[in-house]
A and B are shown apart, each in its own frame.
Chain A
Amino acid sequence: MASIAKYPLTDVFRAIDETRYWFSAPSRSLAEVIRVFEKLGAPKSEAEATHFILQGIKLLQETDFVQSVLQWNDPKCIADVYGKVIEGQPWFIKFRIDEDGVLEEISFHPPNKSMTTVNGTVIF
């Protein structure tokens, strides 16, 4: 298992700053963020959830990396998975940068199972 992410975080952050992103599965990201914060008593709109996710990604460091995974058995679709606690909540974060240089935000939700980052931090 590679301990270095496929997509450098500098490229990821630049894509966000240049508004080159899309959410390919909001049910696994935006809706989950809205659900979590509703339970916490701090409900979020879609725009607020979008902002939270993008800013959350920009908090990532190389040490938060977990692994790269193959999506849909397609060798052209490799995504990076990160795990991080943000605002007291653990998050499973998955994204990729496509051949057009656009950040595809895939997942941003509470982890379904325990995950360990490259520096040994367990996120669950």
Chain B
Amino acid sequence: MKNKRCGNCGSFEITKNKVEGPFRWKDYPLVYLTSPISLLQCNACGETMRLPGDSEKIDHAVEESLRHYTQFFIAKILERENCKQIELAARLGVSPEYLSSLKAGNRTPSFQTFNFLRTLAMNEGAFQVAAPENATRLAKVG
């Protein structure tokens, strides 16, 4: 990119690089891509620029990554807890049909649902804590 300066730091050192993020997206504060995409980037400060069409490319890559992570979390929880999807849906506070669509990779969850799935997947004790029958029984939760 000749004669183009980074709008963040003013550097001329801009090249096309493979970038994995992070990207701020909808209600997600940070998203790292499962597969990096090619974007103009300032090699001095790391700012990534956008040419026409880049935003659509990023949206596609972000949704693909989030659905992939979501499917991974759901599979991990179901296998570890040996539970039915309906039980997991109850803990998430979503319909079984919605959970099925997440498991199939057909929908992108809100950050709230995604983060809860991540917590349930990565923290073995969280699944029991999140049991609906314990939701308002503080002695059991505590």
Question: Which residues of A come within 8 Å of B, CB atoms?
Answer: 19, 21-28, 30-31, 34-35, 38, 43-47, 49-50, 71-72, 74, 77, 98-99, 104, 106-107
Contacts and interface: CB of A to CB of B under 8 A. Distances in A.
Contact of B59 (A22, A47, A107): A47
A30 B55 contact: yes
A27 B24 CA distance: 9
B67 to A, nearest CB: 14
Secondary structure of the A contact surface, majority rule: mixed
Nearest to A45: B59
B79 interface: no
11 contacts: A19-B52, A22-B49, A23-B49, A25-B7, A38-B26, A45-B25, A46-B62, A72-B10, A77-B5, A99-B3, A104-B7
Given A24-B5, A26-B49, 14 more contacts: A19-B52, A22-B50, A22-B51, A22-B52, A24-B49, A25-B7, A26-B47, A28-B7, A30-B55, A38-B26, A45-B25, A72-B10, A77-B5, A99-B3
Given A25-B8, A72-B5, A46 B49 contact: no
B32 interface: no
B47 A25 contact: yes
Contacts of B10: 71-72, 74
Contacts of A24: 4-8, 47, 49
Contacts of A43: 26-27
Contacts of B3: 98-99
Contacts of B26: 34, 38, 43-45
